[in-house]
Chain A
Amino acid sequence: MAIEEDVIVIGGGIAGSIAALSAADTGAQVRLVTHKKSTLRHASGLIDVLGYTDGESGPVHDPFTSLDGLPEEHPYSLVGESAIRGGLEIFDTVTDGAYSGAHTDQNALVTTSGGAIKPTARYPTSAAAGLVSDDRSMLIVGFRSLTDFNGELVADHLAAAGVPFEVNGAEIEVPGNYRADARVTRIANALDLNKDLSYNGRTLPAREAFAEAIKPHLGTADRVGVPALLGDDHADDVRADLERSLGVAVFEIPMGPPSYPGLRLEDLLFDALDDAGVRISDGNPAVGYETAADGDTLESITIDRRGREIPYHAEQFILATGGLVGKGINSDRNGVYEPVFNCYVPHSDDRYQWFSEDAFGEHPFATFGVPIDEHCQPLTAEGKTEFSNLRAAGGVIGGVDPTAEKSKSGVSLATGYAAGREAGEAI
């Protein structure tokens, strides 16, 4: 039994979700097929559009005025400013109330868990009070039984960057009878459900207990930053309750996995896909494809459902399988490849040319991905389109290092928007 759609999007990360929503906006019938969870569990949940360019020494303060300086093969140059704005617009609609930053084109500077300041374009509202261009005094709180960051060290590092406000740090004991190694997930869960915890010989609801633990360190701070684990489903309530008890603004500092801001964004994206009528098939990978007799038009992709190969038919296809982390790009000792369509991925034959000797140097591997044209269509080594009805979006696209540039999610939004729209309009 064949499954037939207008558009099939492969990959359920930011790029795939935005592409599906963008295609659905044109009225197309869309199915999103994804193997595993997206990389959002690992990601900070911040939406960077453009933070650094080759020409500028410091962080970019307005990504849109810096677009001109990008090389012509950059995905932004190919899809244009309107696609970036289009992608952001979908994102802002989907995340209304949960994200901030849409009020201006300027980049925001946020506090990271490593202590370094970072430029970004959209930030979870839970992180909004942590902006560094805001001159309110700040307290950074670390939890003694979590090892991700030491609040005092982060505060000292912010101060060393010359931030325009007073900043102090504190390390507090986590309330509750956790064993020595409290897990991020357990603390988040206790706050989410406001479970009773023991603190200082009393039993208090979790949110109150945490506020009590922070209070003695508040001093003159007008805002308090804490590890990003303030709840899951009820994150807004957790933060509001803490703010009410402490009488100051509270913000989250994104960390590595499991990243609550990333997971919350994933939920928002999937809710939006449901609302837009996008059908979702998850849990099984796309492993191959069939073309029409011309060899140039895709007819279906093949999904491996526990060993059974099932074709999914559509008129248009969007490849949004991510980069090396999402497994949209793969490699072995002999080379780098795109596993679903075997699209061309430029790389050196010598794997010792794939990296820089410097850990933070210019790594060719960070640019691995498929080359695209201005319609987001993957190109062969000869510069021809791989298939007449295939487009790519997000991390699977190569050619630049969006990690160094701080443009990862922005590229996903822009190309997701453009690929989705063009696919939908081709129907």
Chain B
Amino acid sequence: MTDAPHVLVIGGGSTGCGIARDLAMRGLEVTLVEKGNLTHGTTGRMHGLLHSGGRYAVSDQASAKECIEENRVLREIASHCVEMTGGLFVQRPEDPDEYFEEKLEGCRECGIPAEVLSPEEAREMEPYLAKDIKRAIKVPDGAIDPFRLCVANAASAQEHGARIETHAEVIDVLVEDGAVVGVEIKHDTGPGKRVHREPGSTEKIHADHVVSATGAWAGKIGDMAGVDVEVRPSKGVMTIMNTRQVDTVVNRCRPKGDADIVVPHETTCILGTTDIEVDDPDDYPEEEWEVDMMIDTLSELVPMLANARTIRSFWGVRPLYEPPGTGTTDPTNITRDFFLLDHEDRDGLSGMTSIVGGKFTTYRMMGEKISDHVCEKFDIDAECRTADEPLPGSHDFSILRDYMDEFGLRSPIGRRSVERLGSRAEEVLKTGEPNPVVCECEAVTRAEIQDAIDQSGSDLNAVRIRTRASMGNCQGAFCCHRMAHELYPTYDEPVAYEAFDELFQERWKGERHALWGEQLSQAMLKYSLHSTTMNADHDAVRTGSAIDFSKFDSGQTTAVAGTAGTETAATDGGLPPANGGDQ
């Protein structure tokens, strides 16, 4: 082994994955533990906006400057996770002029390219904007896939020797003589990849330093170590539409408010959001009025949203933090900046640092700061390279090659696979085997599913976040079972069915919030397909009920064509068949 210090990172969100990559690239020995899948926390439940900084240009210029800087970095190092859609701040007639001017001025002060568009110009870019809009500011906002980004960071960390353990919850922080020396974790199954039905285990991992990147859950890890970390979780709703009503990020240009942004994402558009403080990041109400507010308020900007189809809604909790004694009452006023808590300086507990607050867009910068801090503790002089070295999948490669022919894929499918996989396309898609489509809505082929299974075991939600399979309009109606069948024979029958049930239930969780109109009809079709055609709701194996087969119709004695000289059924005159014993 190496002499490099061993750092244990808790949390597989953007922050934790970013830190793990950075430290591993600097040559430290790194272990990352995450209680769920990568992105299980807030990172998997965010809006997908690659901030230009425009949103903070008036209220929080420090954050705004970080955003534009990182926005430029991520376009380079994470090109296969980013779509540079551009963004608009749109002013309606009732929105204040002063704010518009402040926004424009703020953008310029922060170095965010900003251009004023007339209503005609704005509507030329986004034809579905309301007819009465006053004007707009164009900024370089983008869309970013949080799942792909985290997985790529973790993969890069692994390439640099890190150990990544998902489904490994920290259940205790080990403290000896006033110093943190490691953690105890509980593996759901394994260690290693998650495989349903494999027994779990606990493991004590010793480390030279522990970094808690647990976002809204940082207080709980703090408790385990005996230190106070006052995170103030604040929830927000996001509602997913069935198509891209807009191709540009559309922000409302008025002082902060709820329901003021639409982000195009892959085949969908996501409306958001709210900002309401909650007590427990794992247990808070998901409410109807929040969904209604997204649709009603944002249709003032994009009227067609009022009657468009939504496919699901989900909620996330912001890991807001403010130093003790600040006492801000309105969560929307809490800073979006991040804080590095050195528990040695702060609480006299050495061996552990927490990082809280911040934003997804600035994850890399946060990772850099934390890594600098850790390296300083160990007197290591290693440069941060994460801003220059592209992530796996984002290396230079030419999209111009004819992937359709090369991989035997029909054109829209080939194009979308390659967009998702980036420079990994060749490695993943060239299997030499038939490569049929598993998820039609998102154009995901078997090769991509198998690649994801390789990475993540029998966990189909982990396959989902890697591939987008089951995330489209039908919400897995036609592909949840296909995905489960792809697990076989790598995993056996009981595992495949348990994995299916888990995925199906996870999909339902968000669909419930979109059950009216077209999507209710779609949900009924999904329910019919799985309950009627496939009888999944009454499956004797899953319910564990024994069937007395002799009580059912065993058919008429039918001769096999061409063997017994007759091709028609020899009817038995309606009598119960030989082994049907219910006479």
B-contacting residues of A (Cβ < 8 Å)? 42-44, 48, 51-52, 57-59, 61-62, 100-104, 106-109, 112-119, 125, 128-129, 131-135, 144-150, 152-153, 156-157, 160-164, 173-174, 179-182, 239-241, 243-244, 247-249, 254-257, 259, 323-325, 327, 330-333, 350-352, 354-355, 357-360, 363, 365-366, 403-404, 406, 408
A114 touches B530 (CB 8 A): yes
What chain A residues lie within 8 Å of B571 (beta carbons)?
A: 103
Interface string of B423-455 (1 = CB under 8 A from A): 000000000011111100000011000000000
Q: Confirm or deny: B373 has a beta carbon within 8 angstroms of a beta carbon on chain A.
A: no
Q: Confirm or deny: B579 has a beta carbon within 8 angstroms of a beta carbon on chain A.
A: yes
Closest chain-A Cβ to B507's Cβ sits at a distance in Å of: 8
A131 touches B555 (CB 8 A): yes
CA distance A150 to B553 in the complex (A): 26
**Would you mind naming 21 contact pairs between A and B with Cβ atoms under 8 Å apart?**
A61-B551, A103-B574, A106-B580, A108-B555, A113-B533, A132-B552, A144-B434, A148-B482, A152-B489, A181-B437, A181-B445, A240-B561, A247-B563, A257-B478, A259-B533, A327-B521, A331-B520, A352-B288, A360-B530, A360-B537, A365-B523
Q: Confirm or deny: B121 has a beta carbon within 8 angstroms of a beta carbon on chain A.
A: no
Interface string of B530-560 (1 = CB under 8 A from A): 1111111111111001111111111110101
Given A113-B534, A162-B546, A179-B410: A108 and B525 within 8 A (CB)?
A: no
What chain B residues lie within 8 Å of A354 (beta carbons)?
A: 515, 520
CA distance A255 to B540 in the complex (A): 19
A44 touches B533 (CB 8 A): yes
Segment of B27-35, B265-273, B490-498 engaged in the interface with chain A: B490-498
CA distance A366 to B515 in the complex (A): 12
B556 touches A100 (CB 8 A): yes
Closest chain-A Cβ to B246's Cβ sits at a distance in Å of: 21
Contact of A133 among B482, B532, B554, B560 (CB under 8 A): B554
Closest residue of B by beta carbon distance from A352: B288
Contact of A104 among B408, B504, B529, B580 (CB under 8 A): B580
Q: Confirm or deny: B284 has a beta carbon within 8 angstroms of a beta carbon on chain A.
A: no
Contact of A147 among B437, B505, B541, B548 (CB under 8 A): B437
Closest chain-A Cβ to B234's Cβ sits at a distance in Å of: 22
Contact of B535 among A116, A134, A148, A350 (CB under 8 A): A116
Given A128-B556, A324-B520: A403 and B527 within 8 A (CB)?
A: yes
B515 touches A355 (CB 8 A): yes
What chain B residues lie within 8 Å of A147 (beta carbons)?
A: 436-438, 446, 479, 482, 485-486
B410 touches A323 (CB 8 A): no
A103 touches B552 (CB 8 A): no
B408 touches A117 (CB 8 A): no
What chain A residues lie within 8 Å of B516 (beta carbons)?
A: 331-333, 351
What chain A residues lie within 8 Å of B288 (beta carbons)?
A: 350-352
Closest chain-B Cβ to A292's Cβ sits at a distance in Å of: 33
Interface size on B, residues (CB 8 A): 87
Q: Considering the complex of A and B, which 3 residue pairs feature the smallest CB-CB distances, nearest first?
A: A114-B534, A244-B562, A116-B539
What chain A residues lie within 8 Å of B410 (beta carbons)?
A: 179, 181
Closest residue of A by beta carbon distance from B407: A180
What chain A residues lie within 8 Å of B101 (beta carbons)?
A: none
Closest residue of A by beta carbon distance from B576: A104
Closest residue of A by beta carbon distance from B435: A180
A132 touches B525 (CB 8 A): no
Q: Confirm or deny: B397 has a beta carbon within 8 angstroms of a beta carbon on chain A.
A: no
A152 touches B488 (CB 8 A): yes
A107 touches B553 (CB 8 A): yes
What chain A residues lie within 8 Å of B123 (beta carbons)?
A: none
A164 touches B492 (CB 8 A): no
Closest chain-A Cβ to B567's Cβ sits at a distance in Å of: 6
- By CB atoms of chain B within 10 A, which of A51, A327, A359, A360 has the most? A359
- By CB atoms of chain B within 10 A, which of A135, A156, A180, A360 has the most? A180
CA distance A81 to B580 in the complex (A): 23
Closest residue of B by beta carbon distance from A119: B552
CA distance A108 to B549 in the complex (A): 9
Given A117-B547, A152-B488, A179-B410: A106 and B434 within 8 A (CB)?
A: no
Q: Confirm or deny: B577 has a beta carbon within 8 angstroms of a beta carbon on chain A.
A: yes
CA distance A58 to B554 in the complex (A): 17
